[in-house]
Chains A and B, each alone.
Chain A
Amino acid sequence: MSKILANREKEEIYQQIREFLAEELDADLEKITADARIIDDLGGDSLIFLELVEKFKKQYNINLEVRTIGQYLLKKSISTIKETANAIYDIIEKGESLIEAVVI
């Protein structure tokens, strides 16, 4: 089932991503800007993406395989906080129909 996120919800998600990364990567919140690269600038790894996705999957009750999300993230070539946030919005909004975005 598709869902449309309001701008206020997107802003909340964006802040949650920043706070999650600040805690997990032991980084200052000010350094977690829209253009910061999660791996190259903040020292994250592929696991951090998995953790982030799992957090929002649970929060929004999304039933999607990790493989589908992995394929989607790879296709979108996600690197920065802004790109990650946009991907999370897309995952929440598309839900199970995300698989179509991967296949097409």
Chain B
Amino acid sequence: MFYKSVNTGVCSASFCSIKDDARFKYFLTRQERTVYLKLGCRARKLEWLSARIALKRILLEQKVIESFTQCEIYKDSLGRPYISLKKKEKPVSLDCSISHKSGYSLAAITMSPYLRLGVDIELISGKLSRLRETFVNESDSITAKVTGDVFYSILWSCKEAASKVIGLGMSADFKSMVVRENKGFVRIFQKERYPIEGKYYFWKNLVVSILYCSAGQS
């Protein structure tokens, strides 16, 4: 298993990748196992499991839980993940986001009741150049000296993460979002909304975006 935690300064994030699922019972509750066993694709199973391992390990490190089965991760009707703590001695306010691509999963959690998170991993490929008309705004600009596939992958990843912050997923208006970068710091502007902020990173052949906005402003 590959696991790497990242402190972004705003939230706790971690990457996880697994090659086999032999220990899946150790990480999942009974109900999660039921969902897991119904997944029909091996690659999907490994990404699904590794995303949950990544999220739960952050909770273990933050001492919110003491074992992997003390919480369950579900998705709401819009596909946004939420954490159900099995043992709640005191109320814990959490917001989380997950993404997976090419065998890697990324999870992020904030304990701040004032933040909403959104993360995305995207493979740098020609696919997003071909789809650029569906999501690129003519005012989008980033300072990194990149072009073509890398440029479009960064824009897509940032907008996809922003759509998760808003909680709309694919029904968000990607084309009207405007990405602006200043010294490695990204801001995404939308009409009549507060900007969403954060950073993107490169990881192997992937772009990773971790964005946030104050709750109530998203």
Contacts and interface: CB of A to CB of B under 8 A. Distances in A.
Given A46-B169, A47-B127, A66-B135, A74 B78 contact: yes
A51 B170 contact: no
Interface in B96-134: 101, 127, 131, 134
Interface in A2-31: none
Contacts of B170: 46, 49-50, 66, 70, 73-74
Interface in A49-72: 49-51, 54, 65-67, 70-71
B134 A54 contact: yes
Interface residues of B, number: 22
A45 B39 contact: no
B44 interface: yes
B171 A41 contact: no
Contacts of B77: 77
Contacts of B78: 74
A37 interface: yes
A26 to B, nearest CB: 10
Interface of B: 38-41, 43-44, 77-78, 101, 127, 131, 134-135, 160, 168-175
